[in-house]
Structure 1
Amino acid sequence: MKRENSQNSHMNGKGPQPEKTASERYQALRNKGNAVTDDERLLSRPTQPLVSPKEPVSTERIAEEAHAFERALNFDFTMTDPWRVFRIIGEFVNGFDVLAHIPPSIAIFGSARTKTDNPYYAAAQETARLLAEAGFGIITGGGPGVMEAANKGAQEGGNLSIGCNIELPFEQASNPYLDISLDFRYFFVRKTLFVKYSSAFIIFPGGFGTMDELFEALTLIQTKKVSNFPVILYGSQYWNGLMDWLRGTMLEVENISPTDLDLLRVSDDPQEICKLVCDAYHRNNQLEKIEPRRETSIR
């Protein structure tokens, strides 16, 4: 899909307007009407009365300030569960506010340790580019490796590039190919946004974090907590061992059913992945028209 100019040539002689990036197009929707967000209301502070330093401070005011300061020193926010709830809510509110107007998007996962000369890096970049050209935004964890490759491909394809980063003990810096960048403290908030705003999961070779995202999606689809969406593994050489174990061990002892294995597809071809995603998206779109009351859960 070629990037279109946001405005056509005007008749006033000024010529065509500069082309807007994907982030600029969707930023305009978020700022429409200059609405004040909940975060802005939360962070605003009422005007305080001015007190001249020359005026004597009352003993009551001194005692009140001393008590407030002592309480602040001994208040550990991270150890107080009821207050932590507001921090969690804040992450949800900010995430929903930022992502509410993004186009249909695809989540791409994979190892942050993948180097730029690794074939999986090039494959992730190509897959993201094809999906972006087909009309999809790309959502990743916002870090290096496969995530960086996918965000780079999204920008090359002319569509929105989104990163949902997570705070870790070893700092994971955001990659430089992001139109929208969000930072999260809680994995479960981040994963909820991946599921809510993605029309498919593409899983490239990765470690524990990648496996977490993979089986989170499979569990939600299997238990019908979300509507069915494609989960595609890229790289048969990497994933065949897992697929053999699922069939030969997990299915053998009946811990999953044969239909559960149908939730997973394996491919080595970015073109095939793009076609699978597009076909599934159009099919689900038709189902929603035929069955408007169809359960879609949080999606």
Structure 2
Amino acid sequence: MTEAAQERGPQPGEQRPEPADAREPREQHLGPVVRRRGQTLAGTTDQRLLESAGPSDFIHQDPWRVLRIQSEFVEGFGALAEVGPGISVFGSARTHEGSPEYAAAVAIGRGLAEAGYAVITGGGPGVMEAANRGASEAGGTSVGLGIELPFEQGLNQYVDLGVNFRYFFVRKTCFVKYSQGFVVLPGGMGTLDEVFEAVTLVQTRKVTRFPIVLFGSAYWEGLLGWLRSTVAAEGKVSPGDLDLLHLTDDVDEVIRLVAK
């Protein structure tokens, strides 16, 4: 723009040029985002939400995040509304094909699908892939609810219906809302988070009472023993609260427990 044009200002039909700081890239898609295999991110959306602070951030950023969060709920609810009865299967993403746990997860996914349930997982590798695989190979509904992570590999190949979320709490809400029970195989921090969050929601009657099945007694018995000998013994929970967790090594019993 010439100096004369700058002095006279924008004329009718002309667009005022944006200041440099207004031309920063912005996220255009408000709903769950699909990441391509191998794509890296400079921090996740959750991280940017939780680490931002200060009046300027609230004024210029957080209202738009509220719209994105709202859009994720709408997209997630819309995608899952017609899935039908579902059971969520959790477990380690580090479980390898060929391991007993992987084979058990395949069998559980297959059994749930044959019993008429949609199998819902986090959509990742390991136990999640195995449960989705069992459901898909049995001709059932195989659902994956992915999450944006710096190291996530994307949805596994056995997911028939996949939704990718930016925000953990939106994804967690969809797991609970569209499941009639949880089946939990051995896993790490994320798996433990799902176990305790689910049992808390049931114990406080925030959700209708539904089964939470822990598969693999060798893995879970130590945790249950500590809950009995320490947590319940000291009165931190009621004795009946531990009955909300069902422990088994039998795939057929898993299906019976969730069906009952």
Could you tell me the TM-score, scaled by structure 1's length? 0.71
1:112-160 per-residue CA deviation (whole Å, 9 max, x = no partner) reads 0000011000001001101100100100000000000000000122110
8 Å Cα contact 1:205/1:234 also seen in 2 = yes
Unaligned runs of 5+ in 1: 1-57, 280-299
Alpha-carbon deviation of 1:70? 4.2
1:59-99 per-residue CA deviation (whole Å, 9 max, x = no partner) reads 24697441366423397995521211011111111000100
Alignment match, 1:48: none
Aligned with residue 123 of structure 2, among 117, 139, 142: 142
Please state whether the residue corresponding to 1:243 is helix, strand or coil: helix
Unaligned runs of 5+ in 2: 1-8, 28-44, 49-56
Alignment match, 2:22: 71
Alignment match, 2:95: 114
Letter in 2 for 1:71: A
Please state whether the residue corresponding to 1:262 is helix, strand or coil: helix
Letter in 2 for 1:95: G
Alpha-carbon distance between aligned partners in 1 of 2:20 and 2:11, rounded to the nearest angstrom: 14
Aligned with residue 165 of structure 1, among 146, 159, 166: 146
Letter in 2 for 1:235: G
Alignment match, 2:228: 247
Alignment match, 1:25: none
Alignment match, 2:10: 59
8 Å Cα contact 1:233/1:239 also seen in 2 = yes
Q: Does 1:237 align with 2:237?
A: no
8 Å Cα contact 1:125/1:149 also seen in 2 = yes
Alignment size in residue pairs: 222
8 Å Cα contact 2:10/2:16 also seen in 1 = no
Alpha-carbon distance between aligned partners in 2 of 1:119 and 1:147, rounded to the nearest angstrom: 14
Alignment match, 2:81: 100
Cα 1:74–1:101 change in 2 (3 A) is closer
1:215-259 per-residue CA deviation (whole Å, 9 max, x = no partner) reads 111111111111000000000000001001100111111111001
Cα 1:61–1:218 change in 2 (3 A) is farther
Write the mapping of 1:1-299 to structure 2, written as runs, cut at 5 A: 59-60=10-11, 64-67=15-18, 70-73=21-24, 79=57, 80-279=61-260
8 Å Cα contact 1:166/1:172 also seen in 2 = no
Please state whether the residue corresponding to 1:148 is helix, strand or coil: helix
% identical aligned pairs = 53
Could you tell me the TM-score, scaled by structure 2's length? 0.81
Cα 1:71–1:157 change in 2 (3 A) is same
Moved runs in structure 1, 4+ residues, more than 4 A? Answer: 61-64, 74-79
User: Aligned-pair RMSD on alpha carbons?
Assistant: 2.0
